Chains A and B, each alone.
Chain A
Amino acid sequence: VTSQGNLKDFFKPK
């Protein structure tokens, strides 16, 4: 089973 990843898990706020 796969779920959509979230970009905020990869890129952090500046």
Chain B
Amino acid sequence: MFEARLSSTALLKKIVDALKEILHQSTLDCSDSGIQLQAMDNSHVSLVSMSLRSDCFEKYRCDRNLSLGLDLRSLTKVLKCASGDDAVTIKSADKADKLQLSFESASMDRTADYELRLLNLDQEHLAIPETDYACVVHMPATEFARICRDLSTFSESVVIACTKDGIKFSANGEMGSVNIKLSETSKGDVSVQVEEPVTLSFAGRYLNTFTRATPLSEKVKISMAPEVPLLVEYPIEDYGYIRYYLAPKVDE
């Protein structure tokens, strides 16, 4: 038996919004310690890894490890029927082929129960190596979203260069070019830790997709090392994270 109750559906909506652009279907791996998800997009360019600890939930019970195959678009449709301040309970019996979602209004005078068909997904899990990132940058999530949006109007490719002076985002296309540089601020909303400078090139449309997670967190952490995938991490309150990995463009 798996049962988890969140006091606010808004958080679940934000999490699903952050996943559904990259993944149409995915498996939630539920265990006693919490809920995990790991999946690549269809083209194997990016990977999403989500972790939510059991103490995020008002009530959490998971008697044995369970994999719930979900169609995220269907889940989005169900979540649209709920109000953000509803409490939500998700429930699935062992070996069940359905997920139950119950929404309870804040005033507790309305309950709505939904059943969502579970999918049998053959999902491959990848081992993500421990990486000592040469550059780690924290910045406001809204700033990162704005930069990704602004650069993608210029070019399909975005170059991210990180040095001790700051982080620079560049795009160069037919209509012209753009460079946006952020330096460390004294008020601490932008911080830059650099062991060695790194410059890598990425597909802007994936970066844009990652910024769907912006409503989850005020801050985003960007980690880079030479010739390895970029890591963009959004914390989920104090209870977990969504991490996006993006393969760099490589010189032919």
Smallest distance from the beta carbon of B244 to chain A beta carbons, Å? 11
Smallest distance from the beta carbon of A4 to chain B beta carbons, Å? 6
Smallest distance from the beta carbon of B208 to chain A beta carbons, Å? 15
Inter-chain contact B248/A5, CB cutoff 8 Å: yes
Q: Count the A residues whose beta carbon is within 8 Å of the partner chain — how many?
A: 14
Inter-chain contact B126/A11, CB cutoff 8 Å: yes
For B34, list chain A residues within 8 Å (CB): none
Q: Which of A5, A8, A11, A14 contacts B250 (CB 8 A)?
A: A5
For A3, list chain B residues within 8 Å (CB): 249-250, 252
Inter-chain contact B247/A10, CB cutoff 8 Å: yes
Flag whether B70 is at the interface (Cβ < 8 A): no
Docked pose: A6 CA to B245 CA in angstroms: 11
Smallest distance from the beta carbon of A8 to chain B beta carbons, Å? 5
Given contacts A2-B201, A3-B252, is CB(A13)–CB(B247) below 8 Å? no
Docked pose: A10 CA to B251 CA in angstroms: 16
For B124, list chain A residues within 8 Å (CB): 13
Q: Which residue of chain A is the closest to B203 with respect to CB atoms?
A: A4
Flag whether B50 is at the interface (Cβ < 8 A): no
Docked pose: A9 CA to B227 CA in angstroms: 11
For A14, list chain B residues within 8 Å (CB): 125-127
Docked pose: A13 CA to B46 CA in angstroms: 15
Docked pose: A5 CA to B157 CA in angstroms: 13
Flag whether B81 is at the interface (Cβ < 8 A): no
Inter-chain contact B157/A7, CB cutoff 8 Å: no
For B125, list chain A residues within 8 Å (CB): 13-14
Inter-chain contact A11/B248, CB cutoff 8 Å: no
Flag whether B187 is at the interface (Cβ < 8 A): no
Docked pose: A5 CA to B247 CA in angstroms: 5
Given contacts A1-B252, A2-B251, is CB(A8)–CB(B127) below 8 Å? no
Pairs A-B, 4 closest by C-beta atoms: A5-B247, A11-B126, A2-B249, A1-B252
Known: A2-B201, A2-B252, A10-B229. 7 other contacts (CB 8 A): A6-B44, A7-B40, A7-B46, A10-B129, A11-B127, A13-B127, A14-B126
B→A interface (CB under 8 Å)? 40, 44-47, 124-129, 157, 201, 203, 228-229, 245, 247-252
A→B interface (CB under 8 Å)? 1-14
